[in-house]
Amino acid sequence: MKHYIALADCDCLFVSAERAFNRRLEGIPVAVLSNNDGCVISRSKEAKALGLKMGEPYFMARPRLPNILYVRANHDLYRATSEKVMAMLKSFTPDVEVCSVDEAYLDLTGTKLLYKQNYFKTAAMIRNAVWDKLHIPVSIGLSTTKTLAKLASDKAKNCGGIFAIGSAERRKILAQTKIEDVSGVGKRLLVKMRDGCVFTALDFISRPDHWV
């Protein structure tokens, strides 16, 4: 049976949690710092646009980008926010796999009959509910496997918050996806891929099973 998987990814969870707690932070550049104000561990899109880098040390970022609001991390707040988001996701389908503080896979297979709508509309319903009740923005990727759902969720961040990879457009999207952009392909594996002339996700799935 074909499964329909969604990956829900909270956008900049730490910054989003700070904004949900303090609405006055909405729309201004915000960065969350690690313990002892060490380095940047979360950035709003406004802070990214100014050129703030993930992991940049605070003592370097502050004089370079003084207009960003730097916030000390409140991990109790982030943990509580994550738990609320995950609880909401589980209210839509019992099959939820939490894989990090800000990501979870949802198996939506069969929910079409439950909600009497297609999976894209169900993803929109979930996304809107999380925003309306918790004020946390979530990007959702839809496809038939976890890897494709992860790829779709990355694309969703720049496509209105929801992106689906169906069978009709799958090969085209995979041909446009660099192999290093696929979840699980790190630096060491990337060297092997390039040695095997695998440069895109489509190149990879086109290789024979014994090579894989």
Active centre residues (catalytic):
103
DSSP-based three-state secondary structure for 141 = strand
Number of continuous H segments (helices) and E segments (strands) in the chain: 10, 8
Q: What are residue 31's phi and psi, to 5 degrees? A: -135, 140
| C-alpha distances out from residue 194 to 49, 173, 188, 208, Å | 32, 19, 10, 16
Answer yes or no: are the C-beta atoms of 148 and 184 closer than 8 Å.
no
| DSSP run (H or E) holding 139 | strand 138-143
DSSP-based three-state secondary structure for 21 = helix
